[in-house]
Amino acid sequence: MIPEIEKASATAIKTFQEEKLRELLQYVNTLSPYYRKLFRKHKLSISKINTLEDLQRIPTTTKDDLQQHNDSFLCVPKNQIVDFVTTSGTLGEPVTVGLTDGDLERLAYNEAISFACAGIGTDDILQLTTTMDRRFMAGLAYFLGVRKLGAGIIRVGAGIPELQWDTILKFRPTYLIVVPSFLLKLMQYARENEIALSDSGIKGAICIGEPLRNPDFSLNVLGQKIRDEWDIELYTTYASTEMSTAFTECTAQQGGHHHPELIIVELLDENERPVDDGKEGELVITTLGVEAMPLLRFKTGDMMTAHREPCPCGRNSLRLGPVLGRKKQMIKYKGTTLYPPALHNALNDFPEVDSFVIELYHNNIGTDEIRIKIATKSTATNLLARIKDHFRSKLRVTPTITVRPIEEIARLRSSKLGRKPVSVIDLRAR
């Protein structure tokens, strides 16, 4: 089940997207109060925007815009909205996203071709280990996608390893939809209860929410930890509520595939100029076929790289590499650009490190500095030296690293808002 357009040439894909773009501009110019006002303010005539390059003349939309003008993004009367979901805003209040019946159909199609991309077929049964409700879009999207694909699904929901294993052994699902760190919990439960992982019947996992791969597509520490013990295929998928679109790996596992009928992709630098091929940029998206809340040039804040060479699976659509980090957390350190997840990965290679916190601050000349505080029970005198060497070889930089009491790290990690623990404390002035 590969949509024809994904096997077409890069030129044909571009022409196809430009046709869809013109339709979208007509649509938002007529129905979106937000974009109509934006076009008027910038004296933009949509008849002059015909190519993907022309798209760059339209100002970008930020998460703050979406938050501050939430209602004026809506293109349909409220009674056309079937499903209301929310996504976290940047200013505290959640942003509401509404979906029409047509949007739910589009979402189903998106997930169906995404699952098919990962090699899932009509004989497969998927076990959903994430929540279906709580105003989230994802769980419902998975359910609709599996239904559209013609496969089966068991909605177990989040947590409860015992119920997850009871379900695996009773219904014999072939794939899990799961947050990778929860896979570790399932493996631990299996160990403690003498369940043989090799007899589980699970062939693979669709992994959401946490990165599993390095930029060269090899498994990161978390991914490797899972694979060392459980021989299943790990497929990563990247999606967000605002995009209403997923980028899921195919069986070649070389990045998340772009579905050209659903979304336009740009990767932009700090000055909102397209980055050169192979360079990292912020993902900026334009949704296609969305009725209720279409978005033009929405800045996701996620930094990544695009891969445009044809994929062994037969698709010519571009692939997105793993999220390197959040744009806001970009660190410019001694001539290198890096993101906190890369620091996490390097630290996770040391089992002796019990806990850590990464502090980012500006030095007296205003450039970025990294200070890592670790807690360890190890008395080995060379531990710090080994960690520094590891940073130098993996990331080409050596931040300041100090050993602190575990209580101090715990206090730093418990954020003031009392939500989940933080591992990055950004003290840089904005």
**Closer residue to Zn ion in complex, CB, 311/360:** 311
In the bound complex, what is the minimum distance in angstroms from residue 256's beta carbon to Zn ion?
Answer: 10
**Contact range with Zn ion by CB under 5 A, out of 81-89, 152-160, 246-254, 381-389:** 246-254
Backbone angles phi, psi at 147, to 5 degrees: -60, -45
Cα radius of gyration rounded to whole Å, the chain = 23
Instruction: Please report whether residue 113 would count as binding Zn ion according to CB under 5 A.
Output: no
Size of the site for Zn ion (CB under 5 A): 5
Instruction: Identify the helix (H) or strand (E) that includes residue 231.
Output: none
In the bound complex, what is the minimum distance in angstroms from residue 321's beta carbon to Zn ion?
Answer: 13
**Contact range with Zn ion by CB under 5 A, out of 52-60, 152-160, 313-321, 342-350:** 313-321
In the bound complex, what is the minimum distance in angstroms from residue 4's beta carbon to Zn ion?
Answer: 15
**Closer residue to Zn ion in complex, CB, 148/315:** 315
In the bound complex, what is the minimum distance in angstroms from residue 251's beta carbon to Zn ion?
Answer: 7
- CA distances from residue 313 to 60, 92, 120, 231, 400 in whole angstroms, order as listed: 33, 42, 14, 22, 44
Tokens of 69: 């003008």
Among 24, 49, 313, 320, binds Zn ion (CB under 5 A): 313
Q: Where are the alpha helices (DSSP H) in 32-87?
A: 33-41, 63-68
DSSP 213: B
Tokens of 31: 């129905």
What is the number of alpha carbons within 13 Å of residue 66 lying toward its C-beta?
A: 27
Instruction: Please report whether residue 320 would count as binding Zn ion according to CB under 5 A.
Output: no
Instruction: Please report whether residue 268 would count as binding Zn ion according to CB under 5 A.
Output: no
In the bound complex, what is the minimum distance in angstroms from residue 247's beta carbon to Zn ion?
Answer: 11
In the bound complex, what is the minimum distance in angstroms from residue 253's beta carbon to Zn ion?
Answer: 8
Instruction: Please report whether residue 295 would count as binding Zn ion according to CB under 5 A.
Output: no
**Closer residue to Zn ion in complex, CB, 13/313:** 313
**How many CB atoms sit inside 10 A of residue 107's CB?**
25
Residue 329: name the closest of 426, 239, 417, 430 by CA: 426
**Closer residue to Zn ion in complex, CB, 20/315:** 315
**Closer residue to Zn ion in complex, CB, 259/297:** 259
**Closer residue to Zn ion in complex, CB, 66/250:** 250
**How many CB atoms sit inside 10 A of residue 206's CB?**
24
**Closer residue to Zn ion in complex, CB, 63/315:** 315
**Contact range with Zn ion by CB under 5 A, out of 17-25, 243-251, 298-306, 399-407:** 243-251
Instruction: Please report whether residue 311 would count as binding Zn ion according to CB under 5 A.
Output: yes
**Contact range with Zn ion by CB under 5 A, out of 29-37, 306-314, 393-401, 417-425:** 306-314
* Dihedral angle of Cα 399, 403, 406, 408, to the nearest 10 degrees: -70
- 3 state SS of 165: helix
**Closer residue to Zn ion in complex, CB, 159/314:** 314
**Contact range with Zn ion by CB under 5 A, out of 87-95, 200-208, 239-247, 248-256:** 248-256
| C-alpha span between 203 and 198 (Å, rounded) | 10
**Closer residue to Zn ion in complex, CB, 70/254:** 254
Tokens of 345: 């990965």
The answer to whether the CB of 292 falls within 8 A of the CB of 103 is yes
- Amino acid sitting at position 320: L
Instruction: Please report whether residue 250 would count as binding Zn ion according to CB under 5 A.
Output: yes
In the bound complex, what is the minimum distance in angstroms from residue 416's beta carbon to Zn ion?
Answer: 44
Q: Please, which residues bridge with residue 303 across strands?
A: 282, 325
The answer to whether the CB of 154 falls within 8 A of the CB of 134 is no
In the bound complex, what is the minimum distance in angstroms from residue 81's beta carbon to Zn ion?
Answer: 35
* Dihedral angle of Cα 158, 160, 165, 168, to the nearest 10 degrees: -20
In the bound complex, what is the minimum distance in angstroms from residue 257's beta carbon to Zn ion?
Answer: 6
**Contact range with Zn ion by CB under 5 A, out of 43-51, 235-243, 314-322, 366-374:** 314-322
Own/partner contacts of 215-219, CB < 8 Å, gap of 24 or more, are 215/305, 215/321, 215/322, 215/324, 217/253, 217/254, 217/255, 217/321, 217/322
| C-alpha span between 142 and 211 (Å, rounded) | 19
Tokens of 399: 């931040």
Instruction: Please report whether residue 252 would count as binding Zn ion according to CB under 5 A.
Output: yes
**Closer residue to Zn ion in complex, CB, 94/119:** 119
List interacting residues with Zn ion (CB under 5 A).
250, 252, 311, 313, 315
